[in-house]
């Protein structure tokens, strides 16, 4: 199994705007689960500790293998969601590893 982790620093600077951006991103990503069968599990969560120094939001998702991950990444619905996320984000980091 391949675990795909994305973390974001949001562009919003105040807490209320960050919460709104986090909610928008989480809802959009969670909406992909019934649409893309390659997703085995998907969790989106907001940071709750060290709010000034930690990243704001994380995605943890599992796929059978790299091919399944690539299918997810290239899927038109995922690409649509990327268009929602990009304007809300200042920085992004990713890690993929076997579990």
Tokens of 3: 């675990």
Note the pLDDT of residue 56.
Answer: 97
Q: How confident is the model at residue 71 (pLDDT cuts 50, 70, 90)?
A: very high
The string of pLDDT tens digits covering residues 18-64 is 999 999 999 999 999 999 999 999 999 999 998 789 999 999 999 99
Note the pLDDT of residue 51.
Answer: 75
Note the pLDDT of residue 50.
Answer: 83
- CA–CA separation, 69 vs 10, rounded Å? 24
Residues contacting 8, CB < 8 A, separation 6+: 25, 55, 56, 57, 58, 85, 89, 90, 91, 92
How much of the chain, in percent, has pLDDT values that exceed 90? Answer: 95
């Amino acid at each position: 199994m391949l675990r795909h982790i994305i973390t974001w620093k949001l562009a919003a600077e105040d807490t209320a705007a960050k919460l709104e951006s986090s909610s928008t991103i989480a809802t959009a990503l969670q909406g992909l689960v019934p649409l893309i069968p390659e997703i085995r599990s998907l969790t989106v969560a907001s940071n709750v500790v060290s709010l000034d120094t930690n990243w704001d939001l994380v995605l943890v998702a599992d796929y059978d293998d790299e091919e399944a991950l690539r299918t997810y990444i290239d899927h038109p619905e995922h690409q649509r969601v990327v268009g929602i996320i990009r304007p809300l984000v200042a920085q992004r980091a990713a890690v993929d590893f076997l579990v």
